[in-house]
Amino acid sequence: MRLSILTRPEVIAFTILIIGTAIVTLRMTRPGGRFSGRSKDGRGGRAVATAGGGGETAFKVEQVNRNDPKARMESVTFADVAGLEEAISELREVVEYLRDPHRFERLGAHMPKGVLLYGLPGCGKTLLARALAGETGVPFYFVSATSFVEKFVGLGAARVRQLFEAAKASAPCIIFIDELDAIGRHRSADTAGEREFDHTLNQLLVELDGFMGSSGVMIIGATNRPELIDSALLRPGRFDRRIQVDRPDRSGREKILRLHADTRPVSRRVDWGEVAAHTAGLTAAELANIVNEGCLLAARRHRDRVAPEDIDEAVSRVLAGTRSARLMSDEEKELVGVHEAGHALLSVLLRGVQPPSRISIVNRGAAFGRSPWSTTDDREVLTKRELMAQLIVLMGGRAAEMQVFGQPSTRAEDDLEHAAGLARRMVERLAMTGRFELAGRKDEGARGNDEGEGGKEVRELLEKAEQAARTILGDNSADLRMVAETLVLKETLTAAELQDMVRGGGGGGAVEMSS
- Distance in angstroms (rounded) separating the CA atoms of residues 291 and 259: 10
Angle between helices 396-405 and 384-394 (to 10 degrees): 40
Which three-class secondary structure state does DSSP give residue 245? Answer: coil
The answer to whether 260 and 291 are in contact (CB under 8 A) is yes
CB 308 within 8 A of CB 271: yes
Q: Which residues pair with 115 in a beta bridge?
A: 220, 241
23-39 burial: b if 16+ Cβ within 10 Å, else e: ebeebbeeeebbbbbbe
Q: Are strands 241-244 and 173-178 parallel, antiparallel or unpaired?
A: unpaired
CA atoms within 13 A on the CB side of 271: 7
Name the active-site residue from 254, 293, 340, 401.
Answer: 340
- How many angstroms separate the CA atoms of 392 and 472, rounded? 10
177 membership: H or E segment, kind and range: strand 173-178
Distance set, CA 503 to CA 321, 396, 442 (Å): 31, 19, 42
What pairs with residue 492 in β-bridges? 360
Q: Is the dihedral of CA 267, 487, 286, 244 positive or negative?
A: positive
- Spatial separation of the C-alpha atoms in residues 408 and 115, rounded to whole Å: 53
Contact indicator for 462, 395 with CB cutoff of 8 Å: yes
* CA pair distance 386, 396, nearest whole angstrom: 15
What lies within 8 Å, CB to CB, of 453 at 6+ separation is 435
Pairing of strands 173-178, 217-223: parallel
Active site residue 340: yes
78-82 long-range contacts, Cβ below 8 Å, gap at least 24? 78/131, 78/134, 78/135, 80/127, 80/131, 80/134, 80/259, 81/124, 81/127, 81/128, 81/131, 82/252, 82/255, 82/256, 82/258, 82/259, 82/284
Sheet arrangement for strand 114-118: 46-51, 59-64, 140-144, 173-178, 217-223, 114-118, 241-244
Please state the three-class secondary structure of 216-231 as a single string.
CEEEEEEECCHHHECH
With CA atoms as reference, report the closest residue to 123 among 248, 296, 210.
Answer: 248
Q: At what angle do helices 192-210 and 155-169 cross, to 10 degrees?
A: 20
Q: Which residues are catalytic?
A: 340
